[in-house]
Amino acid sequence: MPFSFQHYVFDLDNTLYPSSCSFFDLQLENMSDFIQQKLDISRHEADFLREDYYHSFGTTMHGLMANHGIDANEFLAAIDDLPLDRLQPDNPLLEKLSYLQNQGKHLSIFTNGSRFHAHRVMKKLKLDTIFEDVVTLECTGLIPKPKEEAFLYCFEHLKIDPQQAVFFEDSSHNLITAKAFGMKTVLVNADDTAHARFIAHPEIDYFVDDVESFFQRQFLAKR
């Protein structure tokens, strides 16, 4: 799998594990539960706000903080209380990541999740044996992707040259910012809107079923 990148940057949820396992759906359910209870609204309204704030603010949490004064720590504690039984290590992917590491490539995770969430998921997937550099919401002072400040923190503190980096994500709006900094961008197929999002956003260089497919050069589409 010869690629010329020096830095491989990965989102975590629905990227380093398949969306088909529905693990992240549990977190979305917890978000809606939290919103419904805190704001005393219907489930339908809670689901709407969860998605609307995600698209408007980068994360649902930031919309709740801005519009309702919700405490970030309370929100994260509520949504991160998840069973991990839907997650299983992907040994072929671990082998490919280990190969890159042994070739002297720099591997990192850049997530909008909390430190607690990221490290327990990584441990379950055995990714903690591969990745040492992890940027979470706490690292950036709660500034989320796709804000430029979050990317600049990642580049500076992990010593990443974006011109020599490739970024893997299931969220197309995060890839748009990454491309503006000069990163190569890979959209991981996480839902039935993914292909349409690839078509709509010329900032996305590659569209793949999963991370392993990228290394096998099995692209669904590319520019």
List the CATH number of the domain containing 192. Answer: 3.40.50.1000
Q: Which one of 79, 98, 118 terminates a domain?
A: 79
Asked, for residue 177, whether it belongs to a domain, the answer is yes
Q: List all residues 6 or more positions away from 82 whose beta carbon is below 8 Å from its beta carbon.
A: 23, 26, 27, 30, 117
Q: How many domains does the chain have?
A: 2
What pLDDT shows up at residue 3? Answer: 83
State pTM to two decimals. Answer: 0.94
What pLDDT shows up at residue 162? Answer: 98
73, exposed or middle or buried, with CB in 10 Å at 0-12, 13-18, 19+?
exposed
Q: What is the mean pLDDT of residues 92-111?
A: 97
Residues 73 and 108 in one domain: no
Residues 57 and 148 in one domain: no
Give the pLDDT confidence of 122-180 residue by residue, as tens digits: 999 999 999 999 999 999 999 999 999 999 999 999 999 999 999 999 999 999 999 99
Give the pLDDT confidence of 34-85 residue by residue, as tens digits: 999 999 999 999 999 999 999 899 899 999 999 999 999 999 999 998 999 9
Domain that holds residue 64: 23-79
The single-letter DSSP state of residue 144 is P
Residues 171 and 186 in one domain: yes
Asked, for residue 206, whether it belongs to a domain, the answer is yes
Asked, for residue 30, whether it belongs to a domain, the answer is yes
Q: Which one of 59, 79, 99 terminates a domain?
A: 79
Question: What mean pLDDT, rounded, does the chain reach?
Answer: 96
Residues 34 and 90 in one domain: no
How is residue 63 written in tokens? 């919309």
Report whether pLDDT(1) > 70.
Answer: no
Judge contact between 128 and 134, C-beta under 8 A: no
